[in-house]
Amino acid sequence: TPYKVGLTGGIGSGKSTAARSFSELGVPVIDADIIARELVEPGQPALAEIVATFGREILNPQGGLDRSCLRRLVFTSEALKTRLEAILHPRILQEMERRATRLTTPYCVLVIPLLVETGQKDIVDRTLVIDIPDAIQRQRVKARDRLSDTEIDAILQTQSRRAARLAAADDIIVNDTDLATLQRQVEHYHQKYLFLTSQQRS
């Protein structure tokens, strides 16, 4: 199994953008969000469990998961959120692990938005946090998702405080400048991780 770098950060911090840069350097990227989406496709056991827990009203007419309905439900209740996470997190974890095991590269990147918040830090060998100042985060998310300030406030409040994330970091990318600067930082860490893993194996 390759060395696992967990890439995490708040909403709109640049996780996907950084992941793309790693991928362009030939590093395999495993994305928890993509796996989460695949896990709830029609016919998957996780979807059946979600229906058993939340009722058929979280299905759309096509029999697929009505994400906005589910999001609304877990937004209103901490208990429901916990139950959803109990269905999804172990499966996501297991699937990421399964995919990582098949890789032959020295290291891989696992993109896990809530790595710190869910206390899963120990599933990776190293935590890389991508950080941006709150004002820039607000600006970029607003431009990308066309959300109102109130909607953004609600989302940002459910995220762990920036400080907690930074405290959990082994490595930090500050994504407050431009794409070229982000790319340079990714390249820096790429070299670092190649070095780290070459040391470990010898």
Q: What is the contact surface with ligand ATP in residues (CB under 6 A)? A: 9, 11-17, 113, 140, 144, 175, 178-179, 182
CB nearer to ligand ATP: pick between 121 and 138: 138
Q: At closest approach, how far in Å is the CB of 57 from ligand ATP?
A: 26
Read off the tokens for 47: 């979807």
Q: At closest approach, how far in Å is the CB of 33 from ligand ATP?
A: 7
CB nearer to ligand ATP: pick between 75 and 195: 75
Measure CA of the first residue to CA of the last residue in the chain; give whole Å: 16
CB nearer to ligand ATP: pick between 2 and 9: 9
Q: At closest approach, how far in Å is the CB of 68 from ligand ATP?
A: 16
CB nearer to ligand ATP: pick between 106 and 138: 138
Give strand pairing partners of 59: 65
